[in-house]
Amino acid sequence: MHFAAIGWADRDGHAAFQPNELACVLVDRNGAIPSKQSVSGAVRRAKVLDLVAAESNATCLVLPQAAFRKEKGAPKPCRPHPDRR
Ligand SMILES: [Zn+2]
């Protein structure tokens, strides 16, 4: 989960996903695509573990500012968080 966010995140630590895209990223070893419920469960667990920020959801994972910052890349708002700083 955390690695999915790192790989996808833009310079502000937002990793926006199309609907179901995160589910595809989280495909298990057997190739089964997790249900919506297990995706949001995974997001919730990642929040509890402080792997992602509280504003994360299944369509956009937000990395904690302290843990992550890219130097390059233009900021582009993601749909779930249009008025982020
Ligand atoms: Zn976002």
Residue 2: predicted pLDDT: 60
Please give the model's pTM, rounded to 2 decimal places: 0.70
Q: How far is the CA of 33 from the centre of ligand 1 (A)?
A: 23
Q: How far is the CA of 28 from the centre of ligand 1 (A)?
A: 24
| Residue 19 vs residue 3, higher pLDDT | 19
pLDDT(26) > 90: no
Q: How far is the CA of 61 from the centre of ligand 1 (A)?
A: 6
By residue count, the chain amounts to 85
Task: Write the CA distances from 50 to 18, 30, 46, 72, 84, integer angstroms.
Answer: 23, 27, 6, 24, 19
Q: How far is the CA of 72 from the centre of ligand 1 (A)?
A: 17
CA 32 to CA 2: how far, in whole Å?
19
Q: How confident is the model at residue 41 (pLDDT cuts 50, 70, 90)?
A: very high
Task: Write the CA distances from 36 to 63, 66, 83, integer angstroms.
Answer: 21, 29, 25
